[in-house]
Amino acid sequence: MKVLLIEDARDVRQVLKASLSRYGYQVFDAEHGAAGLQLLQQHPDIQLVVSDVLMPVMDGHELCRVLKQKDFGRFVYLILLSSRDQEQEIIEGLELGADDFLAKQSPLAELNARMGVGRRIIELHNELNRQNEKLNLAYDQIKKDLMVAAEMHSNLLPTQKSFPGSRFAWLCNCCAFMGGDMFDYQRIDEHVVAFYLLDVSGHGIPSALLSFTLKYALSPSHKGASLLKRYTDNPPNYEILQPVEVVAKLNERFMAPGSSSQYFTMIYGLLDSRSGRVTVCQAGHPGLLHQQHHGDTIERSCNGFPVGMLPDVEYEQFEFQMTPGDRLFLFSDGVTECFNPAKEEYGTERLIKVLQQHKAMSIDQQVTEVERQLVSWNQSNQFDDDVSLLAIEWHGQ
């Protein structure tokens, strides 16, 4: 192992160098701290330094200060030597960051033993650095993978903003790389639009993976495999399943043996684009808001158990009528349970108030205003929970 010996007295330096060489060390020597620092920069594999305290140009205390403040790209272990066994000198050296302190009159065997301790500490420190480097590389790879997954999550969100008779807007802000919230809307026949918003319990990768699975389960699929339709032999060869049936099927599937222990809340609904009739099943999720074009914004709710929490749950559904210009707002609890610095919840009443104040805006502008108000309330665009909101406007025929 290489060691740097710094000592201004040439005869003492030669004796110590010869002794350390006999102990198996490759010794580099310097006559003061400044020259020692140059050797440290020239030889990046030197990590053990033995230095006198009293020296010209740069003494041991100043050397210690520089060693502990400057980044040499590696850990350097410093043993200070002094011809005077003064308590204050020892205390000052240790306070500056010296790793050990030894009187010059001590036996050389003791110096060798102290250096052995330093060598073991250096080896442990280097091994820790190697492990940290491996962890950092692994973390960087995980971070890259999560960024890709987050992009995939974003790509799963709907892009089409309108269907005949209806228009949509939404906001989605995940508290982690990937969120457990998911929403979508889709035409399942010429006149009926299915829509949902769900919130998987927890955060991060497990929640996001389940939300991916649910997105697939609630997407149009081949004949015989859809959760949204029941296929028949008679024209039009399908029957649209009611929201209560869809939610019950999801509960049955995700309570099956071997399924995840996670549960999720959701609202699933159908909008008849001809009549404006809406049918909804609510499973442990905040109620939706119905903003009447010529009236107030009211909460419509008939709550039930979250999906995947209990087997054989009986769900209910409810219906109501929209008039042209009415809007629906589905949202995750991250909206109403958003806290300000005073630990006050944003709440449903504030959300309704914002929606009413800006109902004259387009649906896109209105959703943007809700997001602006939430960021202002939170005093940050980084939320403690996933924040999602889906808005639906029915124009009528």
Q: Residue 233 is part of a domain; what is its CATH number?
A: 3.60.40.10
Q: What angle do CA 177, 161, 289 make, to 5 degrees?
A: 80
Q: Indicate whether 197 and 80 sit together in one domain.
A: no
One DSSP character per residue, 195-232 reads EEEEEESS-HHHHHHHHHHHHHHTS--STT--SSEEE-
Q: Which of 90, 111, 129 corresponds to the end of one domain?
A: 129
Q: What is the pLDDT of residues 44-65, one digit of tens each?
A: 999 999 988 888 999 888 998 9
- Parallel, antiparallel, or unpaired: how do β-strands 77-82 and 48-52 relate? parallel
Query: How confident is the model at residue 85, as a pLDDT?
Result: 59
Residues 189 and 75 in one domain: no
Domain membership of residue 227 (yes or no) is yes
Rounded-to-integer distance, Cα 353 and Cα 361, Å: 14
Q: Which amino acid, residue 113?
A: A
Angle (CA) 41 90 39, round 5°: 10
Same domain, 349 and 272: yes
Amino acid (one-letter) located at 120: R
Same domain as 103, residue 226? no
Q: Are residues 62 and 104 in the same domain?
A: yes
Say how many domains are in the chain. 2
For the segment 229-249, what is each residue's pLDDT rounded down to a tens digit? 888 888 888 899 999 999 999
Kindly state whether residues 171 and 103 are assigned to the same domain: no
Q: Are 299 and 287 in contact (CB under 8 A)?
A: yes
Please provide the DSSP assignment of 239-264 as one string: EEPPHHHHHHHHHHHHTSTTS-S--E
CATH of the domain at 60: 3.40.50.2300
**Do residues 121 and 197 both lie within one domain?**
no
C-alpha distances (whole Å) from 254 to each of 178, 180, 246, 302, 308 are 21, 16, 12, 22, 5
Strand order in the sheet with 26-30: 26-30, 2-6, 48-52, 77-82, 100-103
Q: Which DSSP state fits 345? A: B
Report yes or no on 38 lying in a domain. yes
Q: What is the pLDDT of residues 209-232, one digit of tens each?
A: 888 889 888 987 655 568 898 888
Task: Return the pLDDT at 78.
Answer: 92
Highest mean pLDDT among 75-89, 114-128, 134-148, 267-281: 267-281
Query: Does residue 145 register a pLDDT over 80?
Result: no
Q: Within a domain: residue 265?
A: yes
More confidently predicted of 142 and 61: 61
**What's residue 192's pLDDT?**
95
For residue range 156-178, what is the model confidence (pLDDT) as tens digits?
A: 788 889 999 999 999 988 766 56
- Residue 272: beta bridge partners? 192
User: 24: alpha, beta or left, given left = phi > 0 and alpha = psi -120 to 50?
Assistant: left
- pLDDT per residue as tens digits for the range 348-384: 999 999 999 999 999 999 999 999 999 999 998 888 8
Position 224 scores a pLDDT of: 56
Q: Which residue has the higher pLDDT, 355 or 85?
A: 355
Q: Quote the pTM value.
A: 0.69
Residue with tokens 């990768």: 205
Range of the domain at 38: 2-129
Contact, 298 vs 348, CB < 8 A? no
